[in-house]
Structure 1
Amino acid sequence: MDIATLLGIVLAIGSIIGGQALEGGHLSSIMQLTAFIIVAGGTIGACCVQNPLSVVIKSIGSLGMVFGNTPIDTKATIKLILDLATVSRKQGLLALEGKLKDIKDPFFKKGVQLIVDGTDPKAVHEILEIEVEHHEEAGVKAAKVWEAAGGYAPTVGILGAVLGLIHVMENLADPSKLGGGIAVAFVATVYGVGLANLFFLPFANKIKMKLKEESGARNIIIMGLVGLAQGENPRLLQEKLESFLPHEERSKEAKK
């Protein structure tokens, strides 16, 4: 679980409800099912019009990146690459086949398998780079659905407000119906702006940020595996890969 996401949602909603209570308001006054249906349904519909259904479904699945927290251990990745480089230097590239079972990351495993199969280092680089680009492109498309939702929600909220005011105008002769119409009008705007700025846009930005982190980690793997396939000296390879680490995390040799 990504604690920052959970903490942010709790803090945002808590602040709004708390502020409402401090002003003497009641929670029931901002709990309007009609307004929520207008904003949520209208926003989802607009996103479905803009994007293919497969991308919309992918965007829902991408919430795992928002709420999940898979740590990226760059230092451990570099150590594994250097261990493989040492093995290949002593026993040859075919010896890496015995190490495949110890590699959990499918991307990393695919790269090592390509090397074991005798694939040209340049081809290994191209194949893995295409996979990184494809993964990032798919993720960005999902993020853009949430970004689009963040653009549509406030506008749909205004639409809900106008509908509420129309209802009010139609019932001016009946004061008992005015309160409900005005409530829907204002609450729809609150829902639209709130969903966009507290959820949809932050979701999109967090997905993009985590995609960038994943791509960075995979680029380190590509650089390391290509160097391994080319028979680079493990010491030189270590210097190259540890340049991605903060200075305090580098080995003593790499700090010199």
Structure 2
Amino acid sequence: MDITTILGLVIGLFGILFGFILEGGHLGALVGIPPFLIVVLGTLGATVIGIPLKELRNLPKWLRIAFTDHAFGAEDAYFKLVHFSEKARQEGLLSLEQELDSIEDTFTRQGMQLVIDGTDAEITKNILESKINVMETRHRFGISFFESAGGYSPTLGIIGTVMGLIHVLGNLSNSDQLAGSIAAAFIATLYGVCFANLIYLPIATKLKLKSQMEVQKMEMILDGIISIQSGENPFILKEKLKTHLGYIPNASGYPEIMADTFE
């Protein structure tokens, strides 16, 4: 699990609910099935309108990415590229062909295959950059979905409140239940604002951050592959890769890559 996602959600909910209790409120007063349906289903409907069905099927995947932690192999990519650079310098680019099966990362394997096949360096760079751009476009669907939900949710909450007040104004003769009905009407606004600021927008931010981290990793790999193809010194390649990732030299003199990544 992604601890920060879970921890942030727990802290946010605790702060709101505990603060409500300290003010003398009762948690039961915050429960309302009709407002919940209006806000959640209304937000979902409005959001679904703006996204293709093909992409909507990725909703479980987007949630899994936001709520699970991933080890995406930036350190492995770093050391493997350094190894490829050293081997290519000593034995030539064709010697790397036997290493292809050991590469688990698809982007790295495709890039190295282009290099081994003798593809022009500019063409190799363009192909790999296109793959990065396509990936970013794919990620934007998930980010946009939750950002849109965060925008619609408060509005649907207001709609729910207005509908509740309409019901209240239609029953003014029952003065004993008037205060409770008005309070219940505002639950929809509470749901709309809370869902937007505690769930939808934070998830969009997390997806955006992880997407940026994946791009960082792929750009590092791209720089490494182009450097290998051009026959640059392995030391220069190391320095190029380190510009993409934070590192701390350990006691053995090897860099410990500190940046988290996402694939």
Q: TM-score, normalised by structure 2?
A: 0.88
Tell me the residue number matched to 1:210.
Answer: 210
Counterparts of 1:126 and 1:154, CA distance in 2: 43
Tell me the residue number matched to 1:110.
Answer: 110
Moved over 6 A (4+): 250-254
The offset of 1:59, in angstroms, is 4.3
Tell me the residue number matched to 1:153.
Answer: 153
Tell which deviates more after alignment, 131-140 or 120-129.
Answer: 120-129
Greater helix percent: which structure?
Answer: 1
Counterparts of 2:204 and 2:95, CA distance in 1: 43
Q: Deviations over 1:97-116 (max 9, x none)?
A: 22122222121122122222
2:61 partner amino acid: G
The offset of 1:52, in angstroms, is 2.0
Gap regions ≥5 residues in structure 1: none
In structure 2, the residue corresponding to 1:244 is in which secondary structure?
coil
1:227 partner amino acid: S
Contact 2:39 2:191 in 1 (8 A): yes
Q: Deviations over 1:126-168 (max 9, x none)?
A: 1111111111111112201111111110011000000000111
Q: Does 1:18 find its partner at 2:12? A: no
1:45 partner amino acid: G
Q: Does 1:172 find its partner at 2:201? A: no
Counterparts of 1:38 and 1:176, CA distance in 2: 26
Q: Does 1:133 find its partner at 2:133? A: yes
Tell which deviates more after alignment, 110-119 or 221-230.
Answer: 110-119
Counterparts of 1:176 and 1:135, CA distance in 2: 59
Counterparts of 1:85 and 1:62, CA distance in 2: 35
Tell me the residue number matched to 2:246.
Answer: 246
Q: Does 1:29 find its partner at 2:50? A: no
The offset of 1:122, in angstroms, is 1.7
The offset of 1:172, in angstroms, is 1.4
Gap regions ≥5 residues in structure 2: 256-263
Counterparts of 1:196 and 1:219, CA distance in 2: 33
Contact 2:51 2:141 in 1 (8 A): no
Tell me the residue number matched to 1:93.
Answer: 93
Tell which deviates more after alignment, 114-123 or 138-147.
Answer: 114-123
Tell me the residue number matched to 2:185.
Answer: 185
The offset of 1:75, in angstroms, is 4.0
Tell me the residue number matched to 2:196.
Answer: 196
Q: TM-score, normalised by structure 1?
A: 0.91
| Identical amino acids, percent of aligned pairs | 39
Q: 1:57 to 1:218 in 2, by over 3 A?
A: same
Contact 2:47 2:149 in 1 (8 A): yes
Counterparts of 1:38 and 1:25, CA distance in 2: 23
The Cα RMSD (Å) is 2.2
Tell me the residue number matched to 2:65.
Answer: 65
The offset of 1:41, in angstroms, is 1.0
